[in-house]
Amino acid sequence: MVVEKLEHSQTKLTFDVTPEEFKAAVDKAFAEENAKVTIKGFRKGKAPRSAFEKFYGVESLYPTAMDYVLNDKIAEAVKDENLVKDFIGQFEPVFDEKIDAEKGFKVSLVIDNYPEVTLPEYKGIEVAKKNLEVTDEEVLNAVNALAKKDATMEAKAEQVVAKGDYAVFDFEGKVDGVAFEGGKADNYELQIGSGQFIPGFEDQMIGMKAEETKDLNVKFPENYGADNLAGKDAVFTVTVHEIKTEKLPEFTDEYVKSLNVKDANTLDELKAVKKAELEATKATSEKDRQTNEVINKILDAAKVDMPKTLINQRYNAFKSQYEQQAKMYNIPFETFIQIMGATKEQFEDQAKKQAERQALFDVVAGAIIEAEKLVPSKEEIDAKVAEAKGAAADSARIANELAYQALINFLLDNAKEI
């Protein structure tokens, strides 16, 4: 057996197949294949070798014989524990030369290896400081959001569209001067700035007056759900009829109490509660941002010759997740992708990129966890398993989660805010 290291973390094993080995494999192949056929003048599986070879040819046995040969060579390879300890995925046969039953020949097996990782410096990674400030405007918006269910609409004194107003209008869209299905509506109500329409539409309505008509020039996104409109320039003729504003109820103590927010009986108390919630949310989002910053810098600098097996595993898992969602809604997978606003090609391209990045993270994270001895102890795992109970008590999953959390805390503790 000759061992050769290839790119993309692969190993090629080349074996000599002697005439005697191949003859034995052909004998086994005959016994297997003969049992499946009936040759005139003989009962099924009872034809002699000479009759079988005359009818089918000896070469018809070679594919099955090669299966026996390859299985024997795999068995030979896996006896070397030191060689196979990093093997992942399936062996792929490679025939470097033609089968020569008389003289013998060579056959090769190629398999992916768990890759070697050259880690960059992962301590002291620079990250932007956390921004945990919560503004009065953010607090007010959060408080007002609670009262939206009780809001009333009233005509705006100055009938001019501004961001945040509700406009009632007619519209008709055309591409190359031709109207298209779904591009027309009368007395449509929209909050300007809500982002419900395609980019540029709502912004161009700002400043319009009641009963004014205007042509809006826009472009449909490249990934728009309707293929006949995706990426196309369009003109929407818009006529505004009425402009409304939203009037929120007065935040009296009685009204605040009716909102049933814990520890909030006055407007000041309600603001304090919402501010604390916003601060907690920002703390989480800023930690996530710093985490992504650190991880992406490490992944960009790491040197790993990724094998396709690990990438394919992540790709298949990612695709399976979306296939299951499509099945839940009882719609074809490709239709589900279109609803998401992507073509099949765009989905596959994005899935592949995500799989490559996630597989790289798995390998690099594992290397740092090992280097820094961040693997959780049996006691930590058992404690979490006992806490989780029931179906959620998957010890392998819990061990991975603990190791991942330890890794994130380690990287952030050792990061440098700038």
One domain for residues 322 and 412: yes
**Closest to 163 (Cα-Cα) out of 252, 241, 245, 236:** 245
Report whether 414 contacts 124 (CB < 8 A): yes
Q: Is residue 83 part of a domain?
A: yes
Shared domain check, 76 and 172 = no
253 located within any domain: no
Of 68, 89, 114, the domain-final residue: 114
407: pLDDT strictly greater than 60:
yes
Count: domains in the chain: 3
Segment 373-402 shows an average pLDDT of 85
State the average pLDDT over residues 179-192. Answer: 96
pLDDT for 243-266, tens place per residue? 999 999 999 999 999 999 999 999
Q: What is the pLDDT of residues 275-303, one digit of tens each?
A: 999 999 999 999 999 999 999 999 999 99
pLDDT surpasses 90 at 342: no
Label each residue of the chain as H, E or C: CEEEEECCCEEEEEEEECHHHHHHHHHHHHHHHHCCCCCCCCCCCCCCHHHHHHHHCHHHHHHHHHHHHHHHHHHHHCCCHHHHCCEEEEEEEECCCCCCCCCCEEEEEEEEECCCEECCCCCCCEECCCCCCCCHHHHHHHHHHHHHHHCEEEECCCCECCCCCEEEEEEEEEECCEEEEEEEEEEEEEECCCCCCCCCHHHHHCCCECCCEEEEEEECCCCCCCCCCCCCEEEEEEEEEEEEEEECCCCCHHHHHHCCCCCCCCHHHHHHHHHHHHHHHHHHHHHHHHHHHHHHHHHHHCEECCCHHHHHHHHHHHHHHHHHHHHHCCCCHHHHHHHCCCCHHHHHHHHHHHHHHHHHHHHHHHHHHHHCCCCCCHHHHHHHHHHHCHHHCCHHHHHHHHHHHHHHHHHHHCCEEC
Same domain, 303 and 357: yes
Q: Does 147 fall in a domain?
A: no
Question: Could you tell me if 193 and 160 lie in one domain?
Answer: yes
Claim to verify: residue 235 and residue 272 sit in the same structural domain: no
- Would you state the structure tokens that stand for residue 216, as one six-digit string? 């809006």
Specify whether 176 is located in the same domain as 214.
Answer: yes
User: Domain of 94?
Assistant: 2-114
pLDDT at residue 396, rounded to an integer: 87
Predicted confidence (pLDDT) at residue 391 exceeds the cutoff of 60: no
| In a shared domain, residues 298 and 220 | no
We report the CATH number of the domain holding residue 28 as 3.30.70.1050
Distance from the Cα of residue 166 to its chain's centroid = 37
**What number is the average pLDDT over the span 97-109?**
91
- The reply to whether 48 falls in a domain is yes
Are 164 and 281 contained in the same domain?
no
Tell me, yes or no, whether 44 and 89 share the same domain: yes
Answer whether residue 393 shows pLDDT above 60: yes
Q: Does the pLDDT of residue 328 top 70, yes or no?
A: yes
Mean pLDDT (whole number) for 294-317: 97
- Could you tell me if 105 and 189 lie in one domain? no
Whether 129 maps to a domain, the answer reads no
Whether residues 274 and 354 fall in one domain: yes
* Segment of 201-210, 218-227, 320-329 carrying the highest mean pLDDT: 201-210
Average pLDDT over residues 347-367: 96
pLDDT value of residue 387:
84
In this structure, what CATH number is given to the domain that contains residue 170?
A: 3.10.50.40
Q: Is the pLDDT of residue 363 over 60?
A: yes
Q: What is the mean pLDDT of the chain?
A: 94
- Give Cα separations from 37 to 31, 40, 42, 58, 84 (angstroms): 11, 10, 10, 15, 39
Whether 341 shows a pLDDT value over 90: the answer reads no
Residues 343, 401, single domain; the answer is yes
Q: Which of 128-132, 272-276, 339-343 has the weakest average pLDDT? A: 339-343
For 4-62, what is each residue's pLDDT tens digit? 999 999 999 999 999 999 999 999 999 999 999 999 999 999 999 999 999 999 999 99
